[in-house]
């Protein structure tokens, strides 16, 4: 883990990861596993990270493991990003020292991100009042009843309101964190990090929490082979019939298995992959929109613009302009 005081990395964003008694190791591991490794192969000024104890240590994590955090809460005074990887009991008010540090970090413009029940720490600090937020689907009713000023989103993967980002159940924390990487470093870097973590490069936050994503028994590899082939041939036309033929499945079976494995129909999945490729091309090339339209497999510029706006919330041209403004800033 890089030191937050490392002068050679002083320009990189500093991520403070909060640790506490009864720490959930999965959520904690998501944050540490993403931000802590040194990643010279990305050729960017990668994040610095610091694990900060909000209570006296050593900290006893779930499973009985003891963790000695190298830093205290004072690191939050300089953090650009604060990650709260869950909270041990939604009904328990976190330590006042942590709540004060979170409020101070927010007031000076730091970004705050929570995984799963970590949203309750932000709510206890009063930082979610009047804002959209989410948490694990089993806890959304409790969040809404305990903190009625919070606009709880019940069935999404994560909610990004700009300065505060909240995510749903444990694994969706990685979707949220990759979303943050994409905002900070662009699609190319986010995709490379996802490849190293063997994760889907992009799951938009509006995806449903409650969906079975297992691959049906007896077909462990067929969808994986098909989806990898599609990614390599996005510029070709695809229909449900052509994909079913490629996978040697009936259209009905392919439709059902795609829904079970991804929560999407085959065609909706293809559209999202095309938009993800188009985002990367907009960020990494100055090619005209018509070339990107053809490379990503959209039938027309009008179709490209329509799908891009629905999934990204901006037109392709506007998206590219925003990238230019960000680079200049």
In sequence order, the 6+-apart residues with CB closer than 8 A to the CB of 118 are: 27, 83, 84, 85, 86, 87, 135, 166
HSE-CB of 96 using CA atoms within 13 angstroms: 0
C-alpha 38/C-alpha 46 separation (Å) is 7
In the chain the domains, ranked by start, together with CATH numbers, are 7-197 (3.40.50.880), 216-329 (1.10.10.60)
Q: What count of other Cβ atoms lies within 10 Å of the Cβ of residue 31?
A: 27
Beta carbons of 157 and 172 less than 8 angstroms apart:
yes
C-alpha 307/C-alpha 220 separation (Å) is 31
Q: Is 158 helix (H, G, I), strand (E, B) or coil?
A: strand
Per-residue pLDDT of the chain (329 residues; tens, 9 = 90+): 445 645 444 689 999 999 999 999 999 999 999 999 999 989 999 999 999 999 987 999 988 899 999 999 999 999 999 999 999 999 999 999 999 999 999 999 999 999 999 999 999 999 999 999 999 988 999 999 999 999 999 878 899 999 999 998 777 888 899 989 988 988 888 888 887 876 665 555 444 444 433 334 444 468 878 988 998 899 999 999 999 999 999 999 999 888 877 778 999 999 988 998 898 888 888 899 999 999 999 999 999 999 998 888 889 998 888 765 444 44
Task: Report the predicted TM-score, pTM, of the whole model to 2 decimal places.
Answer: 0.67
């Amino acid at each position: 883990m890089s030191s937050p005081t490392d002068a050679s990395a002083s320009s990189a964003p500093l991520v403070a990861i909060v640790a506490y008694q009864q720490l959930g190791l999965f959520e904690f591991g998501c944050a540490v596993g993403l931000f802590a490794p040194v990643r010279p192969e990305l050729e960017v000024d990668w994040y610095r990270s610091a694990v900060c104890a909000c209570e006296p240590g050593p900290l006893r994590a779930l499973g009985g493991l003891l963790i000695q955090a190298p830093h205290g809460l004072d690191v939050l005074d300089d953090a650009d990003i604060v990650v709260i990887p869950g909270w041990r009991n939604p009904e328990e008010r976190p330590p006042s020292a942590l709540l004060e540090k979170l409020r101070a970090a927010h007031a000076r413009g730091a970004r705050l991100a929570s995984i799963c029940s970590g949203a309750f720490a932000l709510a206890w600090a009063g930082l979610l009042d009047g804002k959209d937020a989410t948490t694990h689907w089993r806890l959304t009713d409790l969040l809404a009843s305990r903190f009625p000023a919070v606009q709880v989103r019940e069935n999404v993967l994560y909610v990004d309101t700009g300065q505060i980002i909240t995510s749903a159940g444990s694994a969706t924390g990685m979707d949220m964190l990759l979303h943050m990487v994409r905002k900070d470093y662009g699609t190319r870097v986010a995709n490379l990090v996802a490849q190293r973590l063997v994760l889907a490069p992009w799951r938009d936050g509006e995806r449903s929490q409650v969906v079975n994503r297992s691959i049906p028994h007896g077909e462990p590899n067929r969808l994986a082979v098909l989806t990898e082939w599609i990614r390599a041939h996005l510029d070709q036309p695809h229909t449900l019939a052509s994909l079913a033929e490629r996978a040697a499945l009936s259209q009905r079976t392919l439709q059902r298995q795609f829904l079970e494995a991804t929560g999407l129909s085959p065609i909706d999945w293809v559209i999202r992959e095309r938009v993800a490729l188009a985002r990367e091309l907009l960020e990494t090339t100055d090619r005209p929109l018509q070339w990107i339209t053809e490379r990503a497999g959209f039938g027309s510029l009008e179709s490209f613009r329509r799908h891009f706006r629905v999934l990204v919330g901006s037109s392709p041209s506007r998206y590219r302009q925003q990238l230019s403004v960000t680079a200049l800033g």
